[in-house]
Amino acid sequence: MGEEKNCCKNREKSGLLRGLLFGLVPHAGCIAFIALSVLGVATGAALFRPLLLNSSFFYGMIAFSLIVATLSAYLYLKKNGCACRARARREWKYLSVLYGTTIAVNVLLFTLIFPALANANTGMMSAARGDKLFQLEVDILCPGHAPLVTEELKRIDGIVEITYTAPNIFHVLCDSRVTREQILSLDIFRSFPATITEEKMGI
């Protein structure tokens, strides 16, 4: 009885670790880009930029994650008897942990980690006083793509501060030299269309 209980615990632990791995796989590029950007490694971050701008790559990685998780479940069931519905019902705990962890990791990344990291390197960038505040709504694929937008915005002379709010809102504090046309003409918005939803003067 004790051996069977330990065996079940080991299986659930294995499912947990695999779920963590499969949940992180589709966001590997986003995580690497954010880490390199925060560390100031421009060359390394630039390598991931073309991939993150490609929506097909993003959705492909998510599909790949689900396929790998399903393949892992299939091989696990086959190894422990047969890859059939009856066996799957018997191994429901392992499968629940595997897929549940994969989903939980994605939810955690989208709702907490990516939004926090997106603002890690976008605080006050100038001692100048901000005269205008633009609110942008950007069609990004996920919060992991927010640093792509903030990195582009920081290149504009006159930007004072950028604040990102999930899922796709950017508040840009700037001086009077910056125009809405200048912001919307950035190359990044060819890949991720942006709309200025609010503009305040005399901040």
- pLDDT value of residue 88: 81
Calculate mean pLDDT across residues 73-77. 83
Task: Check whether 196 has a pLDDT greater than 90.
Answer: yes
Q: Which two tokens stand for residue 13?
A: 């632990």
How many C-beta neighbours within 10 Å does residue 89 have?
Answer: 9
Give the pLDDT band of residue 90 (cuts 50, 70, 90).
confident
Whole-model pTM: value is 0.63
- pLDDT value of residue 43: 47
Calculate mean pLDDT across residues 120-141. 75
Alpha-carbon distance 154 to 135, whole Å? 15
How would you classify the pairing of strands 159-165 and 132-138? unpaired
- pLDDT value of residue 19: 63
Alpha-carbon distance 172 to 135, whole Å? 6
Sorted by where each starts, the structural domains of the chain and their CATH numbers stand as 2-118 (no CATH), 132-201 (3.30.70.100)
Cite the DSSP H helix spans in the chain: 2-24, 28-39, 42-52, 55-79, 85-90, 92-108, 114-118, 146-153, 180-184, 188-191
- pLDDT value of residue 22: 64
DSSP letter for 124, please.
-
Task: Check whether 59 has a pLDDT greater than 90.
Answer: no
Least confident stretch, 48-57, 181-190, 192-201: 48-57
Calculate mean pLDDT across residues 192-197. 95
